[in-house]
Chains A and B, each alone.
Chain A
């Protein structure tokens, strides 16, 4: 049994998700290879070599992989697939874009957002916004799956895997036009230890300034509910929830968020949850470890002064 893990990286850096997907692969058992496909991605590949449990790092370094487009990555993975029993990626925007293509071309089902490994062919995944957990046994000869990285602890950086180049000649049909990534000195939502999230109660995008101030005092990332994104307060990449980011930080502070099931789906595995809301009936209080019934425009400045 040999498992292929698609690395999550930005060419220069390996993202923390990769070490968590490798942890999921270790739970399945077998040889683990990591595929780093990118352009000028030698640094990311070197980082992948040190992941504990990985025996081989495959590097496909070419301009067609620079932006991690699904069609190109899909073709590459298919060309390598004969050697593997399992193909895994993070349930990231790249993984979710790419792996279904791979699965379809292999004529196997994909198992999405795996949160636990029961055996080499049986996996647990949330459905209905996490209101139910399905235990799914795959009948396919190859298992293709995306892994919810918050459900696994990263493997240590104690390995020393062999580095191998893979052949990667292919023509791209889709043209990359441009990309704008949010520049922020704050930690990434997916990997932050503390997250401060705002909801519809924030009232406006400008009012997020007080949350940003709180986030900076705590070294936290800023998130938002879908209601705040829908209202246009903040961009969609801050969205925490069923259809946004799934997070599980040590501390999640929900401010002015009522707690719709779709939002809870994205954050209820956080270790400690704090809810600040002026509505004592808000469902968010039912999942909060510490609830404060208060007007956020009084409470957050007071919190900022105390910290």
Chain B
């Protein structure tokens, strides 16, 4: 079984971004970049499926500028076998990414596509579901447990208020949540090895996909800053303030 894992390069989770002075976008120049944390969990799950003898090959794919090859190498250092880079300098909406991934999936014919549930920059939480729709595949989002059972996959999902388990025929799309696994660290030998793994580059035109404009970002502004309040010195004072000043209890 071949597993395809789409991944994204994002600003590192520990960096606080700032909005540009002209409100055109956030300023990501010179910020530390990383593999999106949920994509890391997705790669880990695919690699574990391979280690368990269920997956035969793990292919990672990313859409973006040449810089995303750094994250593709990271994913290969974590155990992916090869990588596909769809090169574009344009910032694309999730639907356009999903269309490009559909073209990749049609070439690769993966039985399972594993996404991170959302990227921590756009916070869209869309691409996996969109690929599933375009490819007419069943989907299980927000996975916290994944079991492949012959031609089916059984997925436990994190839903509002609890857990839900679904069973669906392969090929299928899943998106992973936080608790699915704890990703490994790449070892130095594996980082070296990843440099020699195959990485194919395609343009959007190579894939035969035509994209269209769906939206315009008119401006990006900073949110209203919350002002720090006061420090209280005791539990008694806190209760008094909450009762008489804030009047919330």
Contact = CB atoms under 8 A, between A and B. Distances in A.
A-B interaction: yes
Interface of A: 67, 69-71, 74, 92-94, 96-105, 107-113, 122, 126-140, 173-182, 188, 190, 194, 218, 226, 229-230, 236-237, 239, 242-243, 245, 250-251, 261-262, 268, 271-274, 285-294, 299, 302-303, 306-307
A39 to B, nearest CB: 15
Contacts of A292: 231-235, 238
A241 to B, nearest CB: 10
Interface stretch (B9-17, B45-53, B59-67, B199-207): B9-17
B192 interface: no
Interface in B104-125: 117-118, 120-125
A270 to B, nearest CB: 9
B123 A112 contact: yes
Contact of B118 (A139, A243, A307): A243
B158 A93 contact: yes
B215 A182 contact: no
Contact of A101 (B130, B164, B232, B233): B130
A70 B139 contact: yes
A251 B246 contact: yes
Most buried by A among B18, B158, B177: B158
Interface stretch (B70-78, B82-90, B220-228): B220-228
Given A107-B95, A133-B223, A292-B231, A127 B122 contact: yes
A177 B167 contact: yes
Most buried by B among A127, A237, A274: A127
Nearest to B175: A97
Interface in B144-190: 144, 154, 157-169, 177-179
Contact of B221 (A74, A132, A285): A132
Is chain A's interface secondary structure helix, strand, loop, or mixed overall?
Answer: mixed
Most buried by B among A101, A108, A126: A101
A139 B213 CA distance: 7
Contact of A287 (B162, B226, B234): B226
A307 B216 contact: no
Given A174-B168, A237-B162, A243-B118, A128 B17 contact: yes
Given A136-B216, A139-B216, A290-B238, A112 B166 contact: no
Is chain B's interface secondary structure helix, strand, loop, or mixed overall?
Answer: mixed
Contacts of A111: 215
B178 A243 contact: yes
Interface residues of B, number: 80
A175 B167 contact: yes
B227 to A, nearest CB: 9
Contact of B159 (A93, A122, A173, A272): A93
B93 interface: yes
B154 A71 contact: no
A130 B220 CA distance: 11
Nearest to A109: B214
16 contacts: A93-B159, A102-B133, A103-B95, A105-B133, A111-B215, A181-B161, A181-B162, A194-B249, A226-B178, A242-B120, A245-B160, A272-B242, A290-B241, A299-B235, A302-B235, A303-B239
B246 A93 contact: no
Contacts of A303: 235, 238-239
B139 A101 contact: yes
Contact of B138 (A105, A174, A245, A261): A174
A138 B231 contact: no
B232 A136 contact: no
Contacts of B234: 292
B26 A132 contact: yes
A253 to B, nearest CB: 9
Given A133-B221, A177-B166, A272-B248, A229 B178 contact: yes
Contact of A112 (B124, B139, B241): B124
A69 B246 CA distance: 42
A102 B130 CA distance: 8
A175 B166 contact: yes
A135 B220 contact: yes
